[in-house]
Structure 1
Amino acid sequence: MIDMTTRTQSSISIGWSAHLFHVVLLALCFGFGQLACDPVLPDNGTKEKTKEATTNPDEGNTSRPEPKPTERHTPPEPNVEPRKEVPTEDIHDTSEVINEEQADAGQTTEQLPEPDQGTPDSPPAKLCGDVTFTYQGAATTVLVSGDFNGWKDSVAAGAYAMKNVSGNTWELKTNLQPGSYQYKYIVDGNWIKDPSNPKSAPDGFGGQNSVIDVPDCPKPTLKVTQHSTSNGSFTATLQFTPGQSGKGLNNISLATLDRVAVSGGSVTVNGDTVSVKLNSIPSGIHDLRLQGTDKAGEKTSILLLKIYVGVSTDWRDVTLYFAMIDRFVNGDTTNDKPLPNTPQILNYMGGDLKGLTSKIKDDYFTKLGVNAIWITWPIDNPDYSEPGMRPDGHKCGMGNNFPNMTNTAYSGFHGYWPANLNKIEEHFGTLKDLQEMVDEAHKKGIRILLDFTVNHVHKESDLWKKYKDKGFFNTPAKVCGADIGWDQAPETCWFVSYLPDLNYNNAAVRKLMLDHMVYWVKTIGADGLRVDALKHIAQVFIKQMRTRTTLEFEQTGISFYMVGETFSGLTADITKYVGKDQVQGQFDFPLNYQILKTFAKEQIGMNALDKAARKIMSDYGTDALMSTFIGNHDIARFISMASNDIYCDVWDILSNRAQSWTAPPKAPSTKSWAYAKLKLAFTYIFSLPGIPLIYYGDEIGLPGAGDPDNRRMMRFGSQLSKLEGETLTYMQTLGKARQKYEVLRRGALGPTLTATASVLVFTRTGKGGPAIIAMNRNNATSVTVNVSALGLKNGDVLSNVLGTETVTVSNNSLKISLGTQSSMILIKTP
């Protein structure tokens, strides 16, 4: 049992909570996001999932003590000197107080504060609460051990001893730094969870750790109690709650809309109540930032409030585009500084934030029907390349049987090697460039998602340099796939030897990285996150991330969408991290595998795809909002698979990466049938529930083998071939159709009307429906389908929203004529 008493309130809060081989793995296995070297194939694939070895000890079995968390999860923390307090919120100031000179330099106003470890000899600078641990039961000794004392197993080592206060009641009163902690009791040498605490988190051994949330010292806060948006006007009421001083609200010291100060009469203060009224707000996404100051001079954290005018707030209406910044558009040649002795495909190629902004302004995304862009994590990467190797040979099913290798070097162009958490990558531009890009996107009603690289840092990071021996990292290093299996220790293994893996079983690490996330979202004005390498992160952090984003960014009722990446063909691996207390969705890898097998390689029939897709979506349930895709930055390009220019299977990751060097495919400029396959695949995912993703270049059929060849520079306009230009035009038509017809975005997946190896006709039902999606991957054919169950009447006319054809209901049926490798989306003509 735990009791926490602060100076102002009483509460109980329990939270949910290198050797050559390594270098070879970098060259072949590292996808610069989540490692996809050993993807888990679906049940009908060619590989079996490696099960994680766990134990399931009986917590009450005194003859077999539960394994100590120190054995795997949290290395013992050495004693450290007392440190300054770490604030609960806002580890930096936000963007309004970053001056223009600093913004141009890509710098923030403050550096990351030194994180607190909460060790016994490091008392917090200010103690706002007492924590009381209580155990009921007969015992000789009872100890408390957890994140807060390095999981020590004895009093001599640093565990906290509980006192027998009466009979079988044991108690410990202590102070802890603010944060969320996991812990256990050690009763006569046996590790058990707190029997009186119902909240827990997996301990990694088949058992549970108890979880306690220790609140920060009370800070003054602003909270929205009412809000309304209508016809370009926004009104809100906010309530101020005093902090530790107990002083009331003095004024609103910061009030900006889209980084511009609002007029004085727009925000008024009456005691501790704040009223906001903004009129004539143009269409788009807007960021209102507010900060209050109390009569003691203490400031609230800056509040970021999202206002959508003429833009849907429903994430089901989103079409997502992944723009890898360095490979998209070069808009500023002054930051073109490739690293020495690094091959071009592995080097910085000149893409930057100004280039991306130019395409936003040119309506490139709007014409595609895209209203959300996932961008590279823009944080600074090392200013040098890392040594690696590349293959000189190629074969399918390589596994770990590497061919001959050649030395090479890799840069951090992809953004997955965060070295300075306080700075924007200079090859991408400045903080001012980043903010301008977000603001221009918001004017167009386009959301921005940041690629949150949270599993690790680069060895150049100050976090590693200062705290590598203090429990902040999973040490000693065990490289995934080399020293230990990918699924044996997914949360603790290192991707490569120079990317130290953060220890999220340490409460101080969780707090620091949550603050880091909140700061950058507030500074930039981001609307969501793509969370990299989700299965490699402790679930306690994922749950705290959801709690924190809800608290910080959803006060106007607009969801802050987080989509995770778990490279697996098994739905159970995907759903493990999705829920009301975790991420809202994940990228749909199980469906991607089926799509590539069906459309790119034509190894399975359309009927098999339909059956598999429905099973996959059933496994996910109706609350999950997954993102469907035909390609991403870890697999070979769809067009190259479709044109038979990729020699190996769709998820033969290592082999397809080797082909990047031995036989990179050319654009299939004479193979119109390959582009037809791509159009069919996109039509399919744009017609399904979920958020369809376009990986940059797939809208034109950009070719490529595996990583890094699947990250070629994007091409536009006159650089496109005839077939590429026609494909882009088709994608614009498809994207606009999805945006126009609500049933394609929000409708339920209706019945399948017919399914054969070559033809699939399925439906979406709901407002504006039904929609009938008819697809044919073979020669021209006609199909007749019964539509009596769809509420259509004889004489009803349905139009193909992708073309000019119409079809009329007769005898409760539709006769649909499909050309070779073609599709239709039929919707009733008003």
Structure 2
Amino acid sequence: MKLASLLLLSSFIILSCGERTPSKVENLTANIEGDGWSKWGPTLPIYLKGDSSVLFLSDYLLYEEILDSAIWRFSSDEGESIKMNIGDSQRVVIQPKPSEGIGILSLYTQNSSRDIVVLGSSKQIVEISTSGGRIDKAKSVFIAGTMNGWSSWSTPLKRKDNGVWSTILELSNGEHAYQIITDGIWGVDPSNSDSISNGMGGWNSVLSIKEEGPPPVIHTGLYEKGIKIIGSEGVSVLCFIDDRFIKRVTLLSKESYLLNFDDISNSRKRSHLRLYPVKNGVRGAEVLVPLSYGSPITSTDDLDRRDWHSMIMYFLMVDRFNNGIPSNDAPVNDEAIMPIANHKGGDLTGISLKIADGYLQRLGINTVWLSPITKNAKGAWGLWEDPRTEISSKFSSYHGYWPISNTVIDPAFGSRMEFDILVKMAHSEDMNVILDYVANHIHQDHPIYRENPDWATSLYLPDGTMNTERWDDHRLTTWFDTFLPTLDLAKPEVYSAMTDSALWWVENSDIDGFRHDATKHIPEVFWRTLTSKIKKINRTKDRRLFQIGETYGSPELISSYISSGMLDAQFDFNHYDAAVAAFAFDGDFNSLAKSAIESLKSYGAHNLMGNITGNQDRVRFTSLADGGVKTTGNGKFEGWTQNITHKEGGHGYEKMQLLISYLMSMPGIPCIYYGDEIADVGGNDPDNRRVMRFNDLNDSEAATLSWTSEWTKLRSSRMSLIYGSTTIKAISTDVLEITREYLNEISIIILNKSKKEIEVNLHNHHASRSDLVILAGKGYITGNTINIPPFTAICIGKQD
């Protein structure tokens, strides 16, 4: 097998020698006027923050487009619209808020127009008050929770004359877990008896905000003459083809409407029918139907890697994945670095070999996210130490996040030719390649810092304290470490240079997108500038790149970076935390269902958010799940001092399989962290970055690998799992049901994390029992019931 892989790889080397051959799409002329936006993709909906919101209209324009006028249609009544006053900055205020929860912002340029969906805020004004117990003696009181990204400092409470501490917040519908911090001490709210498990052996207080009314729900079906929209009487549906509003329909007593194929006909290879239901001022979840030359796509065979909703991502750390060329290994010869924190030899050719031998294809992924590959600092840097042990260690730059160049590939990872070969091989297998790009900081040895020290923020704050790891209160200026200067990306000369270096990869390689490190530590002007430059590439060379960011924080902070002028998506760490609590720590599925619903409300029913199994900054999921790493602390001490292995009886393998099934069943982009497909173990960084093992797997590891492959391929084969509407509900604390529907296809996923076999009645589903078959997982159907063994999942479904 190794010889065959090398021969296949050598054929790519021969074909790749000499100048890089432009890809087919790069030879195309500029897009036909009026069709370019379809190449960029439908404009992301605008989510208003309150009664009024500030917008940069340039976010919604293509390269060289000039905006002539804009009209804000805040009501279904065509007479209720406002022609907007557009200044040179194209910065406008959207008001009044849409009267029915949804409006349309129409933009007009010289040769085209587009209609952008604007969704009103559903937040409510809430006063949070607390008193009693430790609160009465407190000198300072703060609230930290899901509403502010668990920030310990951003939301203070004020003391009233009666001794009660309170604050006013705008909160979205749903449940908000929180704690009250008094004089630096965290704890539950003594004034609130409602609480939920935090999944780690403790409790959080919980505040519930009820919706003004139930959201309308619509279903769609494919018929001979069109798409039937089905819903309750009185529901209005706004219908769009990408950015073109086509009609508004209201469901009458028949409770259905036939949208004729003539209504959605167009000549584009890919467009999207978008349906937004609303009733009594409350909007429901969007329905999304991809079209091919105006016809609804009913088979995943008609999708490709450019259909981003169909992506299944695989994140690998290059140095730890596979060593293809041992001669380029470059461990740092310094006894201060323990082996766990030094280079291990993985490289770009090693990844190409795993494509050549079919590993990634068998796994079922179609998008590879590479850790940073640019040249990094050499030597020993940083220090880990803990008073509980004599063990200490410095670090090498094996991970790639300490750049001394933004365009030159580190020799330890390979050459430019080897990178081009990797991308070509991936594309030949219909896989995307996403590159991890570091813009926020550089290493102190980087020429940029040596030649322009004033391009960095100050290492010290005005009060003389060191500005390191101040992730929230100084998030745009803080340094990650004393040898990692944070760039002042608010300065034009700095963001211009750094966006140019990112664009270099677009212009000089065939990558398909970026994962952007430390997104929230970078000002919005950087993202707008970079995306504007990428739009130029899109407009002139027909290339569209996917951009996904990394932000830990509240949904409001995370979503603030997502728009058609900035990023396409971010990783949903709040959703991951809820999944860890449910699957690893035996939390309540009701809490996970509520968290998932909140994510769909915050980012959209068909969002592109990354849903992870884990990452390079977290304790391995399996070690949390089986108890190999305790929940106290951050797992670094255990990673450095213990030989963490699978803990018998902890059901770590089964819980990882449940997590995989869950992620493959939900909207968003599932992302497998390398090693999670075999339920690998480990503490926190760097123990969660062990060398990938492909051989000599034990039976449980092999079974987890097979399970992962089964569910990735299930997702890739079902339109309902990619584009379907979503209903998620907890049947009990240990049983979760997810229903995905797309046109005439339905997929029902049931997850059982209890220790006993369970029986679920299927009478609530409108599909005929005889039509349902088992598609993946474990279990069996008897009459109107389905039986699922303990610690497992099953998918059943039908398709006309």
Q: Deviations over 1:219-258 (max 9, x none)?
A: xxxxxxx99879xxxxxxxxxxxxxxxxxxxxxxxxxxxx
1:791 aligns with 2:774: no
The residue number in structure 1 matching 2:680 is 702
**Percent of aligned pairs sharing the same letter:** 27
Shift of 1:737: 0.6
Structure 1 residues 266-301: Cα deviation after superposition (integer angstroms, max 9, x where no partner): xxxxxxxxxxxxxxxxxxxxxxxxxxxxxxxxxxxx
Q: Which of residues 142, 153, 173 in structure 2 aligns to 1:50? A: 153
Tell me the CA shift for residue 802 of structure 1: 1.4
Residue 380 (1) aligns with residue 380 (2): no
1:532 to 514, 517, 536: 517
Q: Return closer, same or farther for 1:484/1:495 CA change in 2, 3 Å cut-off.
A: closer
Note if 1:391 corresponds to 2:386: yes
Q: Counterpart of 1:336?
A: 329
> Number of residue pairs matched?
525
Counterpart in 2 of 1:506? 491
Contact 1:578–1:624 at 8 Å: present in 2 too? no
Give the Å deviation of 1:549.
1.8
Cα distance, 1:392 vs structure 2:
4.8
Could you say if the C-alpha distance between residues 576 and 631 of structure 1 is closer, same or farther in structure 2, counting changes exceeding 3 Å? same
CA distance in 2, matches of 1:455, 1:392: 31
Distance of 1:672 and 1:340 partners within structure 2: 39
Structure 2 residue 541 is the aligned partner of structure 1 residue 438: no
Residue matched to 1:802: 776
The TM-score normalised by the length of structure 1 is 0.59
Deviation at 1:468, TM superposition (A): 0.4
The partner residue of 2:355 within 352, 360, 365 is: 360
Q: Distance in 2 between matches of 1:750 and 1:717?
A: 39
Q: Is the 8 A contact 2:436 2:515 kept in 1?
A: yes
Give the TM-score of the pair, scaled to structure 2. 0.62
- Structure number with the bigger relative contact order (C-alpha 8 A, sep ≥ 6) is 1
CA distance in 1, matches of 2:520, 2:456: 17
* TM-fit CA distance, 1:733: 0.7
Q: CA deviation at 1:387?
A: 4.2
One-letter amino acid matched to 2:723: R
Q: How many angstroms apart in 2 are the aligned matches of 1:368 and 1:480?
A: 49
Q: CA RMSD in A?
A: 3.1
Match of 1:828 in 2: 798
- Say whether the 8 Å CA contact 1:416–1:453 is kept in structure 2: yes
DSSP 3-state at the match of 2:365: coil
After superposition, residues 123-134 of structure 1 pair within 5 angstroms as none
Aligned-partner Cα distance in 2 for 1:804–1:822: 7
Distance of 1:388 and 1:664 partners within structure 2: 20
**Alpha-carbon shift at residue 781 of structure 1 (Å):** 3.0
Q: Distance in 2 between matches of 1:484 and 1:320?
A: 29
1:637 maps onto 2:620 in alignment? yes
CA contact (8 A) 1:435 1:524 kept: yes
- Alignment partner, residue 528 of structure 2: 543
Residue 716 of structure 2 corresponds to which residue in structure 1?
A: 739
**What letter is aligned with 2:644?**
P
Pick closer, same or farther for the CA change 1:509–1:446 going to 2, 3 Å: same
Aligned pairs (5 A) from 1:535-574: 535-553=520-538, 559-568=544-553, 570-574=554-558
1:174-213 correspondence to structure 2 within 5 Å: none
Q: Give the secondary structure class of the aligned counterpart of 1:800.
A: strand
SS at match of 1:513: helix
Question: For residues 43 and 228 of structure 1, do their structure 2 counterparts lie closer, same or farther at Cα, with a shift above 3 Å needed?
Answer: closer
Q: For 1:435 and 1:659, how far apart are their aligned partners in 2?
A: 39
Shift of 1:825: 0.7
Q: Which runs of 5+ in 2 are unaligned?
A: 1-63, 68-86, 93-142, 157-265, 271-300
Question: Are 1:599 and 2:583 counterparts?
Answer: yes
SS of the equivalent of 1:424 reads coil
Question: Per-residue CA shift, 1:526-577, capped at 9, x if unaligned?
Answer: 1011010001000111122222222213657664211110123x22221121
Distance 2:148 2:450 in 1: 43
- TM superposition shift of 1:481: 7.7
Q: Aligned match of 1:475 in 433, 458, 462? A: 458
1:684–1:229 CA distance, 2 compared to 1 (3 A): closer
The AA in structure 2 aligned to 1:440 is M
Per-residue deviation, 1:750: 2.3
Distance 1:701 1:575, change over 3 A: same
Amino acid at match of 1:819: P
Aligned partners of 1:455 and 1:502 also within 8 Å: yes
Q: Deviations over 1:155-203 (max 9, x none)?
A: xxxxxxxxxxxxxxxxxxxxxxxxxxxxxxxxxxxxxxxxxxxxxxxxx
| 1:774 equivalent in alignment to 2:750 | yes
Cα shift readout 1:636-661 (whole Å, capped 9, x = no counterpart): 00111111011125xx43xx112211
* Residue 815, structure 1, aligned to residue 794, structure 2: no
- 2:582 is equivalent to residue 589 of structure 1: no
Q: Which residue of 2 aligns with 1:419?
A: 404
SS in 1 for 2:384: strand
Q: Deviations over 1:436-482 (max 9, x none)?
A: 1111001000000010101011111111011103xx22135559986
Instruction: Describe how 1:107-506 pairs up with structure 2 within 5 A.
Output: 311-341=304-334, 342-393=337-388, 407-469=392-454, 472-477=455-460, 485-506=470-491
Does 1:679 find its partner at 2:661? Answer: no
Q: Please point out which of 634, 637, 640 is paired with 1:661.
A: 640
8 Å contact from structure 2 (residues 148, 154) kept in 1:
no
CA distance in 2, matches of 1:735, 1:589: 21
* Paired amino acid for 2:740: R
2:89 equivalent in structure 1: 14
CA separation in 2, counterparts of 1:555 and 1:590? 38
Do residues 614 (structure 1) and 584 (structure 2) align? Answer: no
2:723 maps to 1:728: no
- CA–CA distance in structure 1, aligned partners of residues 375 and 465 of structure 2: 24
**Distance (Å, rounded) in 2 between the aligned partners of 1:424 and 1:447:** 19
Q: CA deviation at 1:827?
A: 1.0
Q: Which has the larger radius of gyration?
A: 1
Q: 1:524 Cα shift?
A: 2.2
Q: CA deviation at 1:582?
A: 1.8
Separation in 1 of the partners of 2:581 and 2:606? 27
Spell out, residue by residue over 1:317-342, the C-alpha distance to the aligned partner (whole angstroms, 9 max, x if none).
00000010000000001011210112
1:47: how far off? 5.3
Cα distance in 1 for residues equivalent to 2:414 and 2:432 = 20
1:479-529 CA-partner distances (Å, limit 9, x unpaired): 998667322211111111111111111111111111111111222211011
What secondary structure does 2:772 align onto?
Answer: strand
Amino acid at match of 2:359: Y
Asked if the contact 1:672/1:723 (under 8 Å) is kept, the reply is no
Q: Give the direction of change, closer, same or farther, for the CA distance of 1:558–1:523 in structure 2 (3 Å limit).
A: closer
Match for residue 712 of structure 1 among 681, 690, 711: 690
Q: CA deviation at 1:765?
A: 1.2
Measure how far apart 1:50 and its partner are.
Answer: 2.5
Could you say if the C-alpha distance between residues 227 and 322 of structure 1 is closer, same or farther in structure 2, counting changes exceeding 3 Å?
farther
Residue in 1 that maps onto 2:112: none
Q: Check if 1:648 corresponds to 2:631.
A: yes
2-side partners of 1:622 and 1:554: how far apart?
28
Q: Counterpart amino acid of 1:14?
A: S
Amino acid at match of 1:579: S
CA 1:374 to 1:820, structure 2 compared with 1: closer, same or farther past 3 Å? Answer: same
Give the partner amino acid of 1:822.
Answer: T
| Contact in 1 for aligned 2:459/2:482 (Cα 8 Å) | no
CA–CA separation in structure 2 for the residues paired with 1:480 and 1:778 = 50
Looking at structure 2, the residues matched to 826 and 733 of structure 1 have their Cα atoms a distance apart, in angstroms, of: 14
- Is the Cα–Cα contact under 8 Å of residues 496 and 529 in structure 2 kept in the other structure? no
- Where 1:640 maps in the other structure, the secondary structure is helix
Contact conserved, 2:779 with 2:786, CA < 8 A, in 1?
A: no
